[in-house]
Amino acid sequence: MNIKQYLDSTYLKTASQAGLSEEQNSDVIKKAINDAIIEGFKLIMIRPEHVVLAKEMILKANSNLLVGTVIDFPEGKSSIEDKIKEANQAIEDGADDLDFVCNYEAFKNGEIPLVKEEIIIGTQIGLAHNKTVKWIIEVAALSDKEIIQLSALIKNVVISNFKEDDYASVFVKSSTGFYKTENDLPNGATIPSIIMMLENASPLPVKAAGGVRSYKDAIEMIRLGVKRIGTSAAIEIANGENAPNEY
Q: Which residues are catalytic?
A: 99, 173, 207
Pairwise CA distance, residues 17 & 47, whole Å: 13
Pairwise CA distance, residues 159 & 151, whole Å: 12
Q: For residues 42, 197, 80 and 164, what is the CA-based torsion angle, rounded to 10 degrees? A: 70
Sorted by sequence, the CB contacts under 8 Å of residue 95 that are 6+ apart come out as 48, 51, 67, 68, 69, 131
Neighbours of 187 (CB within 10 A): 20
Report how far apart, in Å, the C-alpha atoms of 19 and of each of 13, 31, 42, 44, 47 are.
9, 17, 28, 22, 17
Q: For residues 139, 141, 147 and 149, what is the CA-based torsion angle, rounded to 10 degrees? A: -150
Pairwise CA distance, residues 61 & 202, whole Å: 36
Pairwise CA distance, residues 99 & 88, whole Å: 13
Backbone angles phi, psi at 17, to 5 degrees: -65, -35
Pairwise CA distance, residues 219 & 147, whole Å: 22
